[in-house]
Amino acid sequence: MSNVKGLTANSPFIDLVGELPIATMLSYLHESWLAYADCDKESEPSFQKRKEPQLTQALAAHLRQRQDAGEQPFVGDFFGELEDYVLDKNGLPKCVGRTDIEWRLHGVPAFVVEFKVLDGKKTRRDQYLHDGVMRFVIGRYASKAMVGAMFALLRKAATKDQGLLLAEFETNGASLHCTGIKKSSELLPSIAAFDTAHQRNAPHVTPFYLAHLFVSLPS
C-alpha cells in the first residue's frame, strides 16, 4: 500500500523506494516531537504562542540532531519547510508549495507530513481540511506516494477539534474526496486517532491514505 511511484506510468524508477516503513517513521516522528516538546517546554515564547513554521522548523532540526547522533532507526533524510518552485511565464521562480516535514530516500520525496495548529476555532479546522488534507488530495503534496499524514498540534481550547474533524469527514466526506474512514488507525495503531482514504485524479497515485495524529502543545 505504501509504494512510491515513479515520474510516469512507464518510468524506470517505479518502485525505486519500495515499501516504506510507514508505522516506524510515524512512530519515530511522534516520539521525536514529544521529546523535543518536553525538552523545551519551559522555554519562551511558550509552545502555545509559537507559530506553526517555528514548530516544524525546530522539529526538523531536532530530527537532524538525532540522525547525526545515529539515533534514526532507518535511512533517509527529514526536511522542514521545504519549498517547491516552478518557473512563471517570465522565467522567474514561483513557490507553488511548501511541505512542513518531508522525508526523502535517495533524493526521492517519499513521505510528507502536514502540520496544523488547532485552537478550537472553525477557521483553523477549515485550514486543516482545505489547506492540509486537500493539498494531498489534489496532488500538490505526495503526488506519487500512496500514504501521508496530518499532524495536529492542539492549543488549550482545541479539546473538541479531533471529534469535530472526524465528524466533518463522516458528514461531508464527498467534498474531501474521502472514500473511507478507519476509526482505529491501521497506519499507526494506538497513536494516530484515525485514518482516511481518498480518491485522487490521474496522474496522482490513488487511492491515497492519510493518518491523522493529534498531540497537545505544552502549556
Task: Judge whether 9 lies within some domain.
Answer: no
Domain of residue 33: give its range.
22-216
Task: Judge whether 139 lies within some domain.
Answer: yes
The residue ranking higher by pLDDT, 62 or 1, is 62
Whether the link from the prior residue into 53 is cis, omega within 30° of 0, is no
Task: Judge whether 34 lies within some domain.
Answer: yes
Q: What is the mean pLDDT of residues 168-195?
A: 96
Domain count for the chain, please give it: 1
Q: Which residues neighbour 168 within 8 Å (Cβ) at sequence distance 6 or greater?
A: 125, 129, 176
Q: Which residues neighbour 39 within 8 Å (Cβ) at sequence distance 6 or greater?
A: none
Task: Judge whether 131 lies within some domain.
Answer: yes
The residue ranking higher by pLDDT, 190 or 7, is 190
Q: Do 128 and 167 form a contact (C-beta atoms < 8 A)?
A: no
Longest CA pairwise span in the chain (Å): 52
Q: What share of the chain is helix, strand, coil (3-state, %, to 5)?
A: 30, 30, 40
| Residue whose entry in the numeric block shows the C-alpha cell 519547510 | 81
Q: pLDDT per residue over 100-116, tens digit each?
A: 999 988 777 789 999 99
Q: Kindly give the pairing relationship between strand 93-105 and strand 77-87.
A: antiparallel
Task: Judge whether 6 lies within some domain.
Answer: no
Q: How many CB atoms lie within 10 A of CB 115?
A: 23
- pLDDT for the residue 219: 85
Q: What is the mean pLDDT of residues 73-85?
A: 85
Task: Judge whether 5 lies within some domain.
Answer: no
Nearest to 56 by CA among 102, 10, 23: 102
pTM summary value = 0.87
Q: pLDDT per residue over 26-35, tens digit each?
A: 999 999 999 9
Q: pLDDT per residue over 44-58, tens digit each?
A: 999 999 999 999 999
Give the long-range contacts of residues 10-13, CB within 8 A, separation 24 or more: 13/108
Task: Judge whether 178 lies within some domain.
Answer: yes
The sign of the CA dihedral 18, 19, 23, 28 is negative
Q: Kindly give the pairing relationship between strand 147-154 and strand 208-216.
A: parallel
Task: Judge whether 174 lies within some domain.
Answer: yes
